[in-house]
Amino acid sequence: MALDGWHQKYLEILKEFNYNRSREIRSAKILNSFLKSGFRLDSIKKKIKNKIVFVIGAGPSLDYSLLHLKKFKGFTKIVADGATQALLENNITPDIIVTDLDGNMEYLKRSSELKSIMVVHAHGDNISRLPFAISFRHCIGTTEDKPFGKIKNFGGFTDGDRCVFLANYFKASKIILIGMDFGTNIGKYSKGKVHNKSIKIKKLRKGKSLLEWLASKSDVDLYTTSHPISGFKNIKLTDLQRLVR
Ligand SMILES: Nc1ncnc2c1ncn2[C@@H]1O[C@H](COP(=O)(O)OP(=O)(O)OP(=O)(O)O)[C@@H](O)[C@H]1O
Ligand SMILES: Nc1nc2c(c(=O)[nH]1)N=C(CO)CN2
Ligand SMILES: [Mg+2]
């Protein structure tokens, strides 16, 4: 189950974004029916527990940050949806991808073939995209609502903040954010085409506030390489080597 207090946060999200709860639940049930049984959470836990984990978002700073990220082979990388393309183009394979399947599927499929673990999120507006999950090798399903069957709830809203909730849930030793700029400039790897920029910006603002809430409750050492997030320490990309030693 997600962090204590998550359900209240979820009810606020439904209200703020005018989402229909029964559609959220229907989506999760459909995803549950597509997933193979037998996926072991142990394989995710092994990559996160007591490890230094990078969470990679699709903000504008991602391109520049990749030059630095390349030096951290062997460290666990949890990647938000659209950022997958940037990593694969730089020959970095995500360990875990967190996605609501609303972006370019080509890179997700390719990464899945390279054995990335796919954490697919079901929500009320991606029901028609859920069948893509069938083709993934290692796949787990999530919801913001109550977990059941093969569907988990680690907490979080947008793909990027859900990566952080996941790393926190499985008790990383440190979580380091890359390309998680938030703000009002949408990164070029984000979702291909943004249909409604003001909603996207509103979602980012919500994602950031959820991370600040998480930080207020978490024991994990939290860092960001981009704009300040309350509860996260700022670290320069050039100081990362020192941090992970
Ligand atoms: N400035 C930014 N531009 C784009 N993504 C950002 C930015 N800052 C942080 N991110 C994180 O990177 C993640 C990956 O982006 P992507 O657009 O693929 O995901 P998404 O959450 O599915 O988008 P949407 O909320 O529109 O469905 C976002 O979910 C967000 O948490
Ligand atoms: N119903 C609904 N739920 C969501 C949506 C969305 O567009 N619609 N987007 C999310 C992350 O971007 C997370 N949850
Ligand atoms: Mg997405």
> Hey, where are the domains in the chain?
6-244
pLDDT at 58 > cutoff 80: yes
The residues with which 56 forms a beta bridge, in sequence order, are 79, 178
Give the pLDDT of residue 40. Answer: 86
Q: Are strands 52-56 and 76-80 parallel, antiparallel or unpaired?
A: parallel
Give the pLDDT of residue 22. Answer: 98
Looking from the CA of residue 82, the nearest atom of ligand 1 is: 18
Q: Ligand 1 within 6 A of 207 CB?
A: yes
Give the pLDDT of residue 223. Answer: 98
> Which ligand is in closest contact with the Cα of 160?
1
pLDDT at 50 > cutoff 70: yes
pLDDT at 37 > cutoff 90: no
How many CB atoms sit inside 10 A of residue 68's CB? 16
Phi-psi region of 237 (alpha: psi -120 to 50; beta: other; left: phi over 0): alpha
Give the pLDDT of residue 103. Answer: 84
- pLDDT confidence band for 39 (50 / 70 / 90): confident
Instruction: Give the model confidence (pLDDT) of 92-150 as tens digits.
Output: 999 999 999 998 899 999 999 999 999 999 999 999 999 999 999 999 999 999 999 99
In the chain, what is the greatest distance between 2 CA atoms, to the nearest angstrom?
48
Give the pLDDT of residue 140. Answer: 96
State the distance from the centre of ligand 1 to the C-alpha of 83, rounded, in angstroms.
9
Give the pLDDT of residue 134. Answer: 95
Looking from the CA of residue 100, the nearest atom of ligand 2 is: 11
Three-class HEC string of the chain: CCCCCHHHHHHHHHHHCCCCHHHHHHHHHHHHHHCCCCCCCHHHHHHHCCCEEEEECCCCCHHHHHHHHCCCCCCEEEEECCHHHHHHHCCCCCCEEEECCCCCHHHHHHHHHCCCEEEEECCCCCHHHHHHHHHCCEEEEECCCCCECCEECCCCCCHHHHHHHHHHHCCCCEEEEECCCCCCCCCCCCCCCCCCHHHHHHHHHHHHHHHHHHHHHCCCEEEECCCCCCCCEECCHHHHHHHHC
Pocket test for ligand 2, best of 14, 18, 123 (most atoms within 8 A of CB): 123
Task: Give me the percent of the chain exceeding a pLDDT of 70.
Answer: 99
Give the pLDDT of residue 191. Answer: 72
The Cα–Cα gap between 81 and 25 comes to 22
The Cα–Cα gap between 95 and 76 comes to 6
Give the pLDDT of residue 193. Answer: 57
Of the listed ranges 37-41, 70-74, 229-233, the one predicted with least confidence: 37-41
Looking from the CA of residue 190, the nearest atom of ligand 1 is: 17
Give the pLDDT of residue 49. Answer: 98
What CATH number was assigned to the domain covering residues 6-244?
Answer: 3.90.1480
The residues with which 76 forms a beta bridge, in sequence order, are 53
Instruction: Give the model confidence (pLDDT) of 159-211 as tens digits.
Output: 999 999 999 999 999 999 999 999 999 999 997 556 789 999 999 999 999 99
Task: Give me the percent of the chain exceeding a pLDDT of 90.
Answer: 93
> Which ligand is in closest contact with the Cα of 59?
1
CB hemisphere CA count around 121 (13 angstroms): 26
